[in-house]
Amino acid sequence: MPDSYAVKPVSGPLDARIRPPGSKSITNRALVCAALAQGRSHLTGVLHSDDTRVMIEGLGKLGIAVEPAGDASLAVEGCGGEIPALEADLFIGNSGTTVRFLTALVTLGHGAFRLDGVPRMRERPIGDLADALNALGAKVQCESPGGCPPVEVHANGLPGGAAAVRGDISSQFLSGLMMAAPCADRPVELSVNGELVSKPYVAMTLEVMRAFGADGAAADDLSSFSIPCSGYRACDYAIEPDASAASYFWAAAAIAGGTVTVEGLSMDALQGDVHVVDCLEKMGCRVERQADAISVTGGSLHGAELDMNAISDTAQTIAAVALFAEGPTTITGIGHNRHKETDRIGDLAVELRKLGATVDEHDDGMTITPGSLRPAEVATYDDHRMAMSLALVGLRQPGVVILDPGCTSKTYPEFFRDLESITA
């Protein structure tokens, strides 16, 4: 990828269909469950990107073979809950799911394991996961201030029992604990302290675990879980297209006008991020929800008040749309977005202002008041979502240049090719 990408404004309303690549979140969960399962699993619709590569490489270093099995398909030789490697140094880039899920997974092993990533990963919290694993009898230590990676694990199986985990920083702590739990020595009881953010991802974790034969009972509000020592069974598992990636195409219709249909997703998807279309509808778009596709048609856009706690990966997408709306848009409930690839409130505000908006930053979100848009070189902070969302502004505003467009490789290496395919 070159150092910058000049977005080409569209010449008229869109009329396109697209199927984005597989879900990052489901791919990395299916890999973990398949890795721990008894037997050989086949995963289809897999996402190939930085975040899934570091997961696959990590599992490889733990002695769990993940092999290509055709287009977007992988075969995983499960270890039946017995991690083969006795030691491993895992490099997990800036993948939150990988570092949180594998930290929990390696506690099931016997030996010394270390997980580390890029400099930003050393600022992303994991201490509350370490505390919960330690309450279950593990030995996990975080080396960076504030409880951040590198993480050292001295594993001798996970005894199990009861633990509480904090829910308001990242739901990935809970998901990591849940996926390791069926392979612990004793049943695991988990309770969540504080408000649980990103809830649909926890429901997704349970669904993927169940597909691989693990059982788990959850309170209706996802505040507590009982997970027996069932282990996992290998299976053939089909992964949905990525709904966070789909948000850019739906938002393209909102911004450029016309209709974009995303194939392979419905409102029953495992991914909560499909509900970004509800936000677009509130802002004036028309949404058609079909059994295996969701279409968005652009309309006259107006600002809205949106609690995006459950779907925070799409907050940047909505922020880009807000620049074209009549009146202010307020996004709330996304305080946890400050701990992601970058500070997705503060840094997003800086870039939106460059494009001409007035932005009031709040602890848990922002109010975006559109102004006259202007050309800008948009910095992306090594955050794929900053690049993908703010590129959409250039579909209508000439002169938008995205710096370091290659950062989309974290979850969507072919993003700009696909964006061109729907706007051509």
Ligand X SMILES: O=C(O)C1=C[C@@H](OP(=O)(O)O)[C@@H](O)[C@H](O)C1
Ligand Y SMILES: C=C(OP(=O)(O)O)C(=O)O
Per-residue binding letters, 298-337, with ligand Y (x by CB under 6 A): ---------------x------------------------
Q: Binding residue per annotation — 8? A: no
* Smallest gap from residue 385 Cβ to ligand Y (A): 5
Please choose which of ligand X, ligand Y, none residue 175 contacts, taking the beta carbon within 5 to 8 angstroms, the exact cut-off set by kind: ligand X
Q: Is 248 in the site for ligand X (CB under 6 A)?
A: no
Among 236, 242, 240, smallest CA distance to 211 is for: 236
Q: Which is nearer to ligand Y, 295 or 316 (CB)?
A: 316
SS (H, E, C) 149-200: EEEEEEEECCCCEEEEEECCCCCHHHHHHHHHHHHCCCCEEEEEECCCCCHH
* Smallest gap from residue 65 Cβ to ligand Y (A): 24
Q: Is 97 in the site for ligand X (CB under 6 A)?
A: yes
For every residue of 274-317, DSSP letters joined together read GGHHHHHHHTT-EEEE-SSEEEEE----B--EEE-GGGGGGHHH
Which one of the listed residues 51, 242, 313, 404 is annotated catalytic?
Answer: 313
Among 96, 257, 328, 365, binds ligand Y (CB under 6 A): 96
Phi, psi dihedrals of residue 198, rounded to the nearest 5°: 50, 40
Q: Which is nearer to ligand Y, 98 or 367 (CB)?
A: 98
Taking a C-beta distance cutoff of 8 angstroms, is the pair 106, 155 a contact? yes
Total of chain residues touching ligand X, rule CB under 6 A: 13
Per-residue binding letters, 219-238, with ligand Y (x by CB under 6 A): --------------------
CA distance 32 to 251: 32
Q: Which is nearer to ligand Y, 36 or 54 (CB)?
A: 54
Q: Which is nearer to ligand X, 240 or 313 (CB)?
A: 313
Taking a C-beta distance cutoff of 8 angstroms, is the pair 43, 66 a contact? no
Residues whose CB falls within 8 Å of the CB of residue 220, separated by 6 or more in sequence, listed in order:
none
What does the block give as tokens for 269?
A: 């998807």
Q: Is 364 a catalytic residue?
A: no
CA distance 37 to 46: 18
Q: Which is nearer to ligand X, 129 or 260 (CB)?
A: 129
C-alpha angle with apex 406: 405 to 409, nearest 5 degrees?
125
* Smallest gap from residue 176 Cβ to ligand Y (A): 11
* Smallest gap from residue 256 Cβ to ligand Y (A): 23
Q: Binding residue per annotation — 300? A: no
Q: Is 25 in the site for ligand X (CB under 6 A)?
A: yes
Per-residue binding letters, 131-170, with ligand X (x by CB under 6 A): ---------------------------------------x
Write the single-letter amino acid at 63: G
* Smallest gap from residue 286 Cβ to ligand Y (A): 27
Q: Is 312 in the site for ligand X (CB under 6 A)?
A: yes
SS (H, E, C) 203-238: HHHHHHHHHCCCCCEECCCCCEEEECCCCEECCEEE
Please choose which of ligand Y, ligand X, none residue 95 contacts, taking the beta carbon within 5 to 8 angstroms, the exact cut-off set by kind: ligand Y
Taking a C-beta distance cutoff of 8 angstroms, is the pair 23, 61 a contact? no
Q: In the complex, which residue's CB is closest to ligand Y?
A: 96
Q: Binding residue per annotation — 25? A: yes
Among 52, 94, 95, 172, binds ligand X (CB under 6 A): 172
Burial of 53 (0-12, 13-18, 19+ CB in 10 A): middle
Cis peptide before 150 (omega within 30 of 0): yes
Check residue 115 and report its DSSP letter. Answer: E
What does the block give as tokens for 335?
A: 């305080």
Check residue 241 and report its DSSP letter. Answer: B
Active-site annotation, residues: 313
Binding residues for ligand X, rule: CB under 6 A, are 25, 96-97, 170-172, 175, 197-198, 201, 312-313, 336
Which residues contact ligand Y (rule: CB under 6 A)?
Answer: 94-97, 313, 340-341, 385, 411
Specify binding-site residues for phosphoenolpyruvate: 24, 96, 124, 172, 344, 385, 410
